């Protein structure tokens, strides 16, 4: 609580220290470019409703299914019952996706309807559960710092939450939910621009949100990008995936919460379309051993064999055809990009499994990164676009800042706010010059 108070006080002073006048027009009124926040995986609320087709795996899951809100909808994520071991399985079966070969696409579990609340607003991003603010804060501190600059939710500040279990697919493959999200995001950007005098929009993303934002840009026409997008500012973007994701697929991952059995959520985590997108890219990670089991090792180039050996054969085909082709290139979006990344935090680099196999958590050798994403992935665009005459890229490193603390750490927020002011100052300066 003390740290929160200190941080809030710092943010109240911060805009003055960063000369907020650069974010104002010559006439003194706000001339901010509208800003759209795009969260990372697990970074917004999800709601669900169960129909008669839902088949609970146990009596306990059936009883917990009677917990309903208005019209039968209830919060699926974040639901604190996931921390109750007896109810973890119920949570997992409702979050699980299924790949349908006939559709070549993913769908919810039978009888589970889901929706994303608060699209267009930041309300679904600030806390994952408004009733548990002290343990489910996500973007609250970041949003507060934006408000100190003059941003107002629903006026020039917008949120673009999504069903983060779903991802996108390579050209020629359907991705109903992910593609619809890009369409909704595109409409939100156009609306935000129109309601703010036609000014192009700043896209501010965290983690997985950066991958969605980049895909939106490269899948849009150059004329659309130039008209509607001022700048892409990404935080902790895992451009080339993470070794941590291989641990998730092999053994399950519970964010270090000891009371939750990772094996109870492993199948659900494997089913996530977006989790496959976050596996290490062969192009970037190369042939370096990432997982070692006995006398066998797996690099990013061995991902198909890795999936088979951990018992996830059903994931091989969709990964090979839908996901892998998206990881072999990083197309330039044609709008300025700034990447703010943490570094100097111990990050899983190599996983060692013993004779007990993949059902037991591995020994971990750590390397550099932000605690979740490896540095080579965080800096992938810098390596890929080096020397490009057509793409404006800036990378800001914030030492000692982790993957999620980048949203509230004082030094990180200072860099983020300064960059947003700088982006806005381009227009403001021209206004002053013309006056």
Report the C-alpha gap between 130 and 137 in whole angstroms: 9
Residue pair 175/9 in contact (Cβ under 8 Å)? The answer is no
Q: Which residues of the chain have pLDDT under 70?
A: 1-30, 66-70, 426-435
Instruction: Write down the catalytic residue from 31, 370, 377, 405.
Output: 370
* pLDDT for res 79: 86
Report the C-alpha gap between 128 and 37 in whole angstroms: 15
* pLDDT for res 10: 33
Report the C-alpha gap between 328 and 226 in whole angstroms: 26
**pTM for this predicted structure:** 0.91
**Could you tell me the domains of the chain?**
115-430 (3.40.50.1820)
Q: 138: burial class by Cβ within 10 Å (0-12, 13-18, 19+)?
A: buried
Instruction: Write down the catalytic residue from 163, 403, 405, 409.
Output: 403
Report the C-alpha gap between 193 and 209 in whole angstroms: 20
Task: Verify whether residue 33 is a known catalytic residue.
Answer: no
* pLDDT for res 129: 92
Tokens representing residue 196 in the block? 């703010």
Tokens representing residue 37 in the block? 């926040």
Report the C-alpha gap between 365 and 350 in whole angstroms: 5
Residue pair 419/427 in contact (Cβ under 8 Å)? The answer is no
Report the C-alpha gap between 265 and 94 in whole angstroms: 11
Which tens digits make up the pLDDT trace of 262-307? 999 999 999 999 999 999 999 999 999 999 999 999 999 999 999 9
Task: Verify whether residue 53 is a known catalytic residue.
Answer: no
* pLDDT for res 31: 87
Report the C-alpha gap between 16 and 148 in whole angstroms: 10
Report the C-alpha gap between 256 and 62 in whole angstroms: 28
User: In this structure, what DSSP letter does residue 291 have?
Assistant: E
Instruction: Write down the catalytic residue from 41, 193, 207, 274.
Output: 207
Task: Verify whether residue 100 is a known catalytic residue.
Answer: no
């Amino acid at each position: 609580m003390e740290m929160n108070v200190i941080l809030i006080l710092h943010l109240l002073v911060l805009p003055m220290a960063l000369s907020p006048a650069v974010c104002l027009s010559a006439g003194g009124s706000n001339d901010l470019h509208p800003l759209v926040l795009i969260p990372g995986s697990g970074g917004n609320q999800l709601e669900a409703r169960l129909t008669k087709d839902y088949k609970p795996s146990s009596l306990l899951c059936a009883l917990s299914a009677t917990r309903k809100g208005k019209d039968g909808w209830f919060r699926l994520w974040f639901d604190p019952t996931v921390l109750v071991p007896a109810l973890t399985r119920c949570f997992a079966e409702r979050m699980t996706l299924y790949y349908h070969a006939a559709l070549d696409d993913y769908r919810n579990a039978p009888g589970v309807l889901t929706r994303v609340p608060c699209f267009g607003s930041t309300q679904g991003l600030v806390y994952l559960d408004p009733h548990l603010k002290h343990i489910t804060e996500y973007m609250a501190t970041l949003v507060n710092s934006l408000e100190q600059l003059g941003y107002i939710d629903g006026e020039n500040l917008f949120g673009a939450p999504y069903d983060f279990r779903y991802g996108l697919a390579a050209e020629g493959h359907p991705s109903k939910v992910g593609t619809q999200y890009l369409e909704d995001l595109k409409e939100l950007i156009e609306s935000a621009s129109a309601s703010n005098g036609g000014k192009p929009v700043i896209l501010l993303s965290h983690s997985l949100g950066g991958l969605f934002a980049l895909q939106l840009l490269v899948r849009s026409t150059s004329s659309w990008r130039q008209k509607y997008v001022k700048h892409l500012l990404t935080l902790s973007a895992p451009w080339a995936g993470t070794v941590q994701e291989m641990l998730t697929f092999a053994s399950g991952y519970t964010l270090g919460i000891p009371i939750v059995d990772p094996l109870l959520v492993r199948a659900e985590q494997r089913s996530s379309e977006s989790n496959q997108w976050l596996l290490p890219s062969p192009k970037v990670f190369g042939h370096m051993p990432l997982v070692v089991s006995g006398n066998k090792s797996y690099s990013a180039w061995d991902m198909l064999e890795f999936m088979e050996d951990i018992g996830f054969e059903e994931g091989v085909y969709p990964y090979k055809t839908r996901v892998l082709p998206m990881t072999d290139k990083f197309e330039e979006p044609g709008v300025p990009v700034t990447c703010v990344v943490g570094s100097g935090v111990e990050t899983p680099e190599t996983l060692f499994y013993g004779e007990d196999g993949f059902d037991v958590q591995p020994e971990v050798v750590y390397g550099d990164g932000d605690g979740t994403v490896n540095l080579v992935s965080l800096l992938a665009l810098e390596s890929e676009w080096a020397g490009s005459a057509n793409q404006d890229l800036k990378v800001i490193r914030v030492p000692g800042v982790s993957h999620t603390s980048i949203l509230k750490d004082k030094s990180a927020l200072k860099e983020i706010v300064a960059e947003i002011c700088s982006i806005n100052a381009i227009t403001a300066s021209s206004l002053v010059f013309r006056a």
